[in-house]
Amino acid sequence: MKDVRVGVLGATGAVGREMMNILEERNFPVSELRPLASAHSAGREMKFRGESVFVRQATPESFRGLDIVLGAAEADIARQFAPDILAAGAVFVDNSSAFRLQPEVPLVVPEINAGDVAWHSGIISNPNCSTIITLVAVKGINRLSTIKNMVASTYQAVSGAGAGGIAELAQQMQALSAGEPLVSKIFPYQIAQNLIPRIGGFTANGYTAEEMKLLNEGRKIMHLPGMRVTCTCVRVPVVRSHSISVSVYTERDLSVEEVRAQLALEDGVVLVDDPAAERYPMPLETSGQDKVFVGRIRKDMAFDNGIALWCCGDQVRKGAATNTVQIAELLLK
Amino acid sequence: MKDVRVGVLGATGAVGREMMNILEERNFPVSELRPLASAHSAGREMKFRGESVFVRQATPESFRGLDIVLGAAEADIARQFAPDILAAGAVFVDNSSAFRLQPEVPLVVPEINAGDVAWHSGIISNPNCSTIITLVAVKGINRLSTIKNMVASTYQAVSGAGAGGIAELAQQMQALSAGEPLVSKIFPYQIAQNLIPRIGGFTANGYTAEEMKLLNEGRKIMHLPGMRVTCTCVRVPVVRSHSISVSVYTERDLSVEEVRAQLALEDGVVLVDDPAAERYPMPLETSGQDKVFVGRIRKDMAFDNGIALWCCGDQVRKGAATNTVQIAELLLK
């Protein structure tokens, strides 16, 4: 495909805007770019390749003539418009959770399971942000020996709650410094100088929806239906890179040296693991980039055959917009 | 004992000052309070029970006439003065890491192993802060069934680096809001809006000294020499409560209900675990208190017989000063 007509559903949010930036940065062969959003944003001017484009209200008719629609909207909006997108003959590459676990929908991290794009029937889902970052970090380990178990604790940036989350942290930091009242609308409690150990709604087993994603989406993406995963998701006062502390346990025992050597070869991974030089991944240094940064690699001491590591990646980019555009690039081949 | 003559070594730091507050709050029977510090702080005025007390320079002679010395100084200072404290006939309750793993020195969390105070021979050590908070949170689980393995990731407040760490975060937050230059002296990198996955120096196995403490101190305090522990310690932009995401694996399978019921009975623990009411522990709500707050209790899904939970506790108080004063109280009995 060249001269691709691309729609962005939810174009005015943090992820939608980043999708437009990334289409431009990666020279995606866009012949028409159509930003779509709610009635509230209709008519707003955005920039694409230096030209003005105007946001249209998403309606059932908005998708006619498009080849690919990138979804940056919430799950209910994605569900609402998916039939219209398919009826228009476009492929829907959706970042919401709406279709991720449906058996007929591929769930793709291009560095892991690009081949799954082949069997799509109109919808391809983009995984959860912390799931993408964690799996990119550990995929090289799984190449050395199959991952059986995983224990992960996340440190998730406010950008995961969208542009409003970023603004809320900024307001609270300003207010704390100035001794003024703090506003908490996006997050259930103050997030500046605090941690909130709850992302997404609670499910019946006491885990949050966000925590269950690493298990359910991880199994599907990695083609490891028996992988056992526990995850704890925590919001931290960081702007836009997620970090994850993870222990993975594999079929055979791996040395730190072979894991480091493998990770240095992996697509999408930057190894930052030099304790003597005080080098390890940090969210501040990894923001605005498309790679997943991995370090602190060492033998896990709690169980046999374990490797512990720490990884960081930009939630808005690799965790969402970049991965979605990468999937769209696979469709061009 | 009553009419106890108490010295505080390192009285002008964050922990030393808090020790003096807590001696007063808990009506410790102090007949003389002697704040000791470096030559730099000598002569400084401090308050104790509304009266002025003046800081003296710590010298080998400073401990004469004291019954108990509470140590709030670094390990090298503790090592330097320990012989003088013992020679003066005082008991040294030390918060530094200097003596914690010495076999003749009890390492005590009063809610766990108060009985170990009995066999001291002049020195009793106070454990590492995140170790205390984690162990108080899980001790009730160990009472139900012996803990075999533990995987922990910490979210540690800047107060762990002393008063200077607190000041550095405040300066950086102010500077970020005002668009002014940030100063990083205490921490190796900016901590505001960032995470630093390195606390303490690196050891040969790739773990930091801080990370090894939960294993080594945990085994000694819990009387579980075979407990296997992996820990990842991360500095977060929070003022003074540490939080820990921990999975514990026990000999027999435990239900969430029995764990909750047990933890509700445990000394030093406050159960905050009501997802439907949006209640879980957060560092902001637990600062300035002496309890360890535990919530997010659920079945671990990575391995059999596991329980995952989240806990928070004030690092300066229960993590250091309060626990030290509690040990001193045991000496009075």
Provide the ipTM. 0.96
Q: What is the mean pLDDT of residues A285-292?
A: 94
Q: What is the mean pLDDT of residues B220-245?
A: 98
Amino acid residing at A279:
R
Whether B10 and B112 share a structural domain: yes
Q: Which domain holds residue B77?
A: 4-127+320-332
For residue A52, which phi and psi values (nearest 5 degrees)? -80, 135
- Using DSSP's 3-state secondary structure scheme, residue B156 falls into strand
| pLDDT > 70 in chain A, percent | 100
Q: Which residues of A touch B293 (CB under 8 A)?
A: none
Q: What is the mean pLDDT of residues A153-174?
A: 95
**Around Cβ A278, how many Cβ atoms within 10 Å?**
11
| Cβ–Cβ contact A308 with B under 8 A | yes
Instruction: With cut-offs at 50, 70 and 90, classify the pLDDT of residue A1.
Output: low
Check A155 against B202: CB less than 8 A apart.
no
- Residues of A known to be catalytic: 129, 242
Check A197 against B281: CB less than 8 A apart.
yes
Q: Which residues of B touch A299 (CB under 8 A)?
A: 205-206
For residue B129, which phi and psi values (nearest 5 degrees)? -65, -50
User: Cα–Cα distances in Å, from A115 out to A23, A119, A224, B157?
Assistant: 22, 8, 15, 44
Whether A121 and A234 share a structural domain: no
Amino acid residing at A319:
G
Amino acid residing at A51:
E
B residues 249-288 closer than 8 Å to A (CB): 249, 256, 275-276, 278, 280-284
Residue A333 predicted with pLDDT over 90: no
**d(C-alpha A292, C-alpha A314), whole Å:** 8
**d(C-alpha A111, C-alpha A290), whole Å:** 12
Query: What's the alpha-carbon Rg for chain A, to the nearest Å?
Result: 20
Residue A173 predicted with pLDDT over 90: yes
Check B239 against A193: CB less than 8 A apart.
yes
Q: Which residues of B touch A306 (CB under 8 A)?
A: 230
**Mean pLDDT of all residues in chain B?**
97
| Cβ–Cβ contact B165 with A under 8 A | no
Check A302 against B228: CB less than 8 A apart.
yes
Residue A197 CA from chain centroid, whole number: 19
Check A302 against B275: CB less than 8 A apart.
no
- Residues of B known to be catalytic: 129, 242
Q: Which residues of A touch B230 (CB under 8 A)?
A: 247, 300-302, 306, 308
| pLDDT given for residue A93 in this prediction | 98
Contact B134, B152 (CB under 8 A): yes
According to DSSP, residue B244 is labeled E
Cα A214-A215-A219 angle, rounded to 5 deg: 105
| pLDDT > 70 in chain B, percent | 100
Whether A184 and A244 share a structural domain: yes
Instruction: With cut-offs at 50, 70 and 90, classify the pLDDT of residue B147.
Output: very high
User: Cα–Cα distances in Å, from B176 out to A281, B180, B190?
Assistant: 21, 6, 11
Residue B2 predicted with pLDDT over 80: no
| Alpha carbon of B71: minimum distance to chain A alpha carbons (Å) | 29
Whether A77 and A157 share a structural domain: no
Residue B155 predicted with pLDDT over 90: yes
Query: Where residue A150 sits, what CATH number does that domain have?
Result: 3.30.360.10
pLDDT digits (tens, 9 = 90+) for B33-70: 999 999 999 999 999 999 999 999 999 999 999 999 99
Contact A36, A59 (CB under 8 A): no
Instruction: With cut-offs at 50, 70 and 90, classify the pLDDT of residue B206.
Output: very high
pLDDT digits (tens, 9 = 90+) for A207-247: 999 999 999 999 999 999 999 999 999 999 999 999 999 99
Check B282 against A237: CB less than 8 A apart.
no
Residue of A nearest to B286 (CA): A194
* Bridging pattern class, strands A306-314 and A241-250: antiparallel
**In the block, which residue shows the tokens 């764990």?**
B259
**d(C-alpha B321, C-alpha B260), whole Å:** 28
Contact A136, A268 (CB under 8 A): yes
Contact B169, B189 (CB under 8 A): no
B residues 11-40 closer than 8 Å to A (CB): none
Q: Which residues of A touch B206 (CB under 8 A)?
A: 256, 275, 296-299
C-alpha closest to that of A57 among A31, A28, A80, A23: A80
**d(C-alpha B117, C-alpha B328), whole Å:** 9
Q: Which residues of B touch A151 (CB under 8 A)?
A: 151, 247, 300, 302
| Alpha carbon of A223: minimum distance to chain B alpha carbons (Å) | 17
Phi/psi region, residue B162 (left: phi>0; alpha: psi -120 to 50; beta: rest), is left
| pLDDT given for residue B1 in this prediction | 64
According to DSSP, residue A321 is labeled I
Residue B256 predicted with pLDDT over 90: yes
Q: What is the mean pLDDT of residues B90-114?
A: 98
Q: What is the mean pLDDT of residues A284-299?
A: 96
| pLDDT given for residue B333 in this prediction | 86
**d(C-alpha B151, C-alpha B144), whole Å:** 19
Check A302 against B205: CB less than 8 A apart.
no
Query: Where residue A76 sits, what CATH number does that domain have?
Result: 3.40.50.720
Contact A281, A310 (CB under 8 A): yes
Contact A142, A136 (CB under 8 A): no
Whether A262 and A137 share a structural domain: yes
Q: Which residues of B touch A283 (CB under 8 A)?
A: 193-195
Cα B159-A195-A315 angle, rounded to 5 deg: 120
- As beta bridge partners, residue A236 has none
pTM over 0.90: yes
Whether B286 and B147 share a structural domain: yes
Residue of A nearest to B273 (CA): A206
**Around Cβ B86, how many Cβ atoms within 10 Å?**
16
| Cβ–Cβ contact B193 with A under 8 A | yes
Amino acid residing at B152:
A
Whether B107 and B150 share a structural domain: no
Whether A214 and A259 share a structural domain: yes
Whether B198 and B121 share a structural domain: no
Residue B76 structure tokens: 């090298």
Whether B121 and B230 share a structural domain: no
Instruction: With cut-offs at 50, 70 and 90, classify the pLDDT of residue A79.
Output: very high
| Cβ–Cβ contact B305 with A under 8 A | no
Contact A8, A95 (CB under 8 A): no
Instruction: With cut-offs at 50, 70 and 90, classify the pLDDT of residue B97.
Output: very high
**Mean pLDDT of all residues in chain A?**
97
Task: Domain count for chain A, please give it.
Answer: 2
Which of B150, B239, B301, B314 is the best mutation test for A, with the most CBs of A within 10 A? Answer: B301
Whether B142 and B290 share a structural domain: yes
Residue B195 predicted with pLDDT over 80: yes
**d(C-alpha B197, C-alpha B218), whole Å:** 21
Check A282 against B189: CB less than 8 A apart.
yes
| Cβ–Cβ contact A243 with B under 8 A | yes
C-alpha closest to that of A295 among B270, B213, B208: B208
pLDDT digits (tens, 9 = 90+) for B304-328: 999 999 999 999 999 999 999 999 9
Amino acid residing at B229:
V
Contact A62, A93 (CB under 8 A): no
pLDDT digits (tens, 9 = 90+) for B257-285: 999 999 999 999 999 999 999 999 999 99
Question: Which stretch of DSSP H or E encloses residue A256?
Answer: helix A256-265
Whether A299 and A153 share a structural domain: yes
**d(C-alpha B259, C-alpha B311), whole Å:** 14
Residue A2 predicted with pLDDT over 90: no
Complete DSSP assignment for B33-97: EEEEE-GGGTT-EEEETTEEEE-EE--TTTTTT-SEEEE-S-HHHHHHHHHHHHHTT-EEEE-SS
Considering CB atoms only, which of A238, A281, A300 is closest to B193?
A238
Q: Which residues of B touch A199 (CB under 8 A)?
A: none
